[in-house]
Structure 1
Amino acid sequence: MRDPTERRTAARVEAMTPPGRDRGVDALRALAIAGVVLGHWLVTAWVLGPRGTVAVSSPLAFMPELAPLSWVLQTLAVFFFVGGYAAARSLRTADDRARAETAGPARARTDGPARAAAGPAWVRARMGRLLRPVGPLLLVWAGIAAGLALHGAPYATVRALALPALGPIWFLAVFAALTAATPLLLKLRPGVTAASAAAVVLAVDAVRFGLGGPAWLGWVNLAAGWLVPYMLGVGWAVGGLASRRTAVALLAGGAAGAAVLVAGFGYPASMVGVPGAGVSNLSPPTLAAVAFGLAQVGLALLAHGPLGRLMRRPRLWAAVALLNLFTMTIFLWHLTVVAVTALAALRFGAVPGLLTPPAHLSWLPERLGWLPVFGGLLALAGAAAKRLNDRVSRSA
């Protein structure tokens, strides 16, 4: 028998949803963030070292045969793709509204493409939404780092705990930069821009891996690599990528490209970083990650319609809508809750699934047993962030 409270909540969310809401896009965003969170929860580990030190590790470092797990759970390309789509749609709507208010309805209907009439205000509002949750996270980690230092924790331990937990800020910074550039990106040709960005990644990889160029050059790909799916999302928002043939071509071509790069050119099979590995496909992005992202974009386009129809079920839609409400909080805090749990467990020694080497398959079920704890802590973090954001909004 269904819970009446749950049924009423689902009905309330259904009633509050605008008729034109693209639920398929929201479902894609929810799946992308769920993949990122679950992937990080399963491949990020800490192990106890000599003299009470802690080092970051991963089951992929011990069991490379688990690399296909990263092909399923590394969904950042979908996150950027949907982000580009949502930003472009939102800005075009803001432009239309601004022109309607200043020039009258008749001109608003004939004024042509969006010209960033509301661009500066839109960017300020968007940056506030994206960056506001970063402050509390940095304050929490400043307190954790200070407390560990006062208790004599080695610098290596503080670094091993903090760096993975603060890693999402790097990706948020890139996402925020691309979002701020959306008024400019809307003036460009999406396909040409995405192809140009992919060409930059190709050139950088050729210099790094083929010509022995400096490793720091790879960080150029941090912007260029994620611009590819983001710009495809912008193109989707303005009417591109509409045919099923295009989606199939992206899926097949991207998958084939990634397979050739891994099998024939020595790129890592894992689509996430592995501690101790010489090359990471993700930090910074490589051409293999870009090809893999193209395949994900194609799959997302194919799944969009079926997901939209599935979201007509009120209870499913309520869950997805709630997840979308806390996307940035979830993204920023999901590794912090794991690090805090591991930190709290230090006094108990080598706790299975938290502080033991992820060297055997038995580690995975041990880690799975901790997922409800991580989920509960993340829910508490989300509730606290919502209260803080509401307080800031009221005082603004």
Structure 2
Amino acid sequence: MIVISVLRELRRLAEQTPAHRDRHVDLLRAIAIVTVVVGHWLAVHVTYDGTLRGDSVLALAPWTRPSTWLFQVMPVFFLVGGFANAASLASHRERGGSTTGWLLRRTDRLVRPATALLAVLALAALLSRALGVDPGLIGTAVWLAAIPLWFLMAYLAAVVFTPPMLALHRRYGLAVPIMLTLLVGLGDAARLGLRIPYVGEANFLFAWLAVHQLGFAWQDGRLPDRRGIAIPLTLAGLGALVLLTVLGPYPISMVAVAGQEIHNTSPPTLALMALAATQTGLALLVHDPARRWLRRLGPWTAVVTVNSVIITLFLWHMTAAVLGVLALYPTGLLPQPPPGSPAWLALRIPWLLVLALILTVLVAVFGRIERRRGPHPGPGRATGVLPNLLTLTGTAGVLAGLLGIALAEPGDHHPAGLPTPALAAYFAGAAVLRLARQMRRPHQRSSDSCCAAVRPGRGN
């Protein structure tokens, strides 16, 4: 009955979607996350001979690496994130809202699902340790399940930087992402050419902010979705990608492969920026036909349904993979042919189906946390220094915690499977953000969130 009620509510929201909403943006968001989930699942290679061992298919079967040009679609998520954040912030300010209030509203949808994931992982690790499970296995399993948090950290940082970066965009336009891309290139040169340590780490910020800025330009029309712009951008991006990888120094894989000196995502490189330009051009190119297709209630309801739990879907997909490994390999239910072989390719179908079933159950259990409307600030102006200070402190704590978790190596980080200082910083920051929301008109509800199910309103 609960599932039927939720589906009816989602269909009602789909029917009530305002005509001015750009549904193509929501479609791209859903496609990006689903593609990343499937790509991660396909890249996993597990063997069991009394001990579970894992590796990446990309390392074991090099011929699969070009497929990452299709499955590495995080640039699309940041592109539509920039579009949605620009629209949302403009709408919030038109209603008299403050930057602090917007940040509290926008981060809430990200922090709540992440808090649930980390709490469950920590409790599972503590329980497993008490039951005598091998600490190394606990550490590896928790580390794998927490992999999606690196993305959350990067996207949350982009959300936090939205107000000042949007101001830069309004003054300098497309010069901002161009300059950020040049900084990525300088970081590559310093790291790869001059061998200067750590300087390239700034590309984690510069690269994703550059793609986010393209979303701003798309939203306000400076990057129009016309064939005269989309086709040259696609071809230029693809040409640069081929030159940088096939003829240049960058690897073909758009996902990190163990043993390679250069990884295109850790930190992001110019090759990844070329892929982002290609994907941006394609997104603009299909804009009009996609919008026409999404006028149909069936496809649009499906998009609304996925977007209603988009963060939950992403955060829990590696947990589903861990549970699938434990269910299929020690029990002998899934054979272990060589990766990349015809038998391995055929077995990817039942592997994906089992993981999809597990993830469906996880989303059914935890998706309500993302859909639930907790205490949100109202649209009014800040009532004092304290809410602003709490927002800044809480956001810093959450980002510091996520950074510590993302930097952790696989292994035994007792007692909760992840670095204790990072967990403490994250949970403290999340608690402070919740307090800040409660202080700002908690009786009012928000209808605006970064990846929410579509609700009547002005912003994407």
Using structure 2 for the length normalisation, give the TM-score. Answer: 0.74
Q: Residues 22-61 of structure 1: matches in 2 within 5 Å? A: 22-48=22-48, 52=51, 54-61=52-59
Q: Residues 296-311 of structure 1: matches in 2 within 5 Å? A: 296-311=279-294
Residue of structure 2 aligned with 1:232, choices 214, 227, 234: 214
Q: Residues 341-366 of structure 1, C-alpha deviation per residue, up to 9 Å, x if partnerless?
A: 2133454258336xx66353422321
Alignment-derived partner of residue 192 in structure 1: 175
What is the CA–CA distance in structure 2 between the aligned matches of 1:8 and 1:184, rounded to whole Å?
39
Where do 5+ consecutive residues of structure 1 fail to align? Answer: 99-116
Q: Which amino acid aligns with 1:291?
A: A
Q: Which amino acid aligns with 1:68?
A: P
Using structure 1 for the length normalisation, give the TM-score. Answer: 0.85
What is the CA–CA distance in structure 1 between the aligned matches of 2:103 and 2:288, rounded to whole Å?
30
Q: Is the 8 A contact 1:56 1:160 kept in 2?
A: no
Give the C-alpha shift of residue 76 in structure 1. Answer: 0.4
Alignment-derived partner of residue 65 in structure 1: 63
Greater helix fraction, Structure 1 or Structure 2: 1
Q: Is the 8 A contact 1:41 1:371 kept in 2?
A: yes
What is the CA–CA distance in structure 2 between the aligned matches of 1:254 and 1:281, rounded to whole Å?
15
SS state at 2:266 partner: coil
What is the CA–CA distance in structure 2 between the aligned matches of 1:305 and 1:232, rounded to whole Å?
18
Alignment-derived partner of residue 84 in structure 1: 82
Q: 1:277 to 1:364 in 2, by over 3 A?
A: farther
What is the CA–CA distance in structure 1 between the aligned matches of 2:342 and 2:208, rounded to whole Å?
33
Q: Is the 8 A contact 2:178 2:210 kept in 1?
A: yes
Q: 1:311 to 1:389 in 2, by over 3 A?
A: closer
Residue of structure 2 aligned with 1:292, choices 272, 275, 279: 275
Alignment-derived partner of residue 299 in structure 2: 316
Q: Residues 324-343 of structure 1: matches in 2 within 5 Å? A: 324-343=307-326
Q: Is the 8 A contact 1:55 1:160 kept in 2?
A: no
1:274 has 2:245 as partner: no
Give the C-alpha shift of residue 316 in structure 1. Answer: 1.0
Q: Which amino acid aligns with 1:141?
A: L
SS state at 2:221 partner: coil
Residue of structure 1 aligned with 2:345, choices 360, 364, 379: 364
Alignment-derived partner of residue 73 in structure 2: 75
What is the CA–CA distance in structure 2 between the aligned matches of 1:331 and 1:190, rounded to whole Å?
31
Where do 5+ consecutive residues of structure 2 fail to align? Answer: 376-437, 443-460
What is the CA–CA distance in structure 1 between the aligned matches of 2:261 and 2:134, rounded to whole Å?
25
Alignment-derived partner of residue 103 in structure 1: none
What is the CA–CA distance in structure 2 between the aligned matches of 1:141 and 1:21, rounded to whole Å?
37
Give the C-alpha shift of residue 14 in structure 1. Answer: 4.0
More moved, 187-196 vs 172-181? 187-196
RMSD, aligned α-carbons: 2.7
Report percent identity of matched pairs.
36
Q: Residues 156-178 of structure 1, C-alpha deviation per residue, up to 9 Å, x if partnerless?
A: 43343333321211111111111
SS state at 1:167 partner: coil
SS state at 1:187 partner: helix
Q: 1:263 to 1:11 in 2, by over 3 A?
A: closer
Give the C-alpha shift of residue 328 in structure 1. Answer: 0.8
What is the CA–CA distance in structure 2 between the aligned matches of 1:318 and 1:88, rounded to whole Å?
24
What is the CA–CA distance in structure 2 between the aligned matches of 1:301 and 1:254, rounded to whole Å?
13
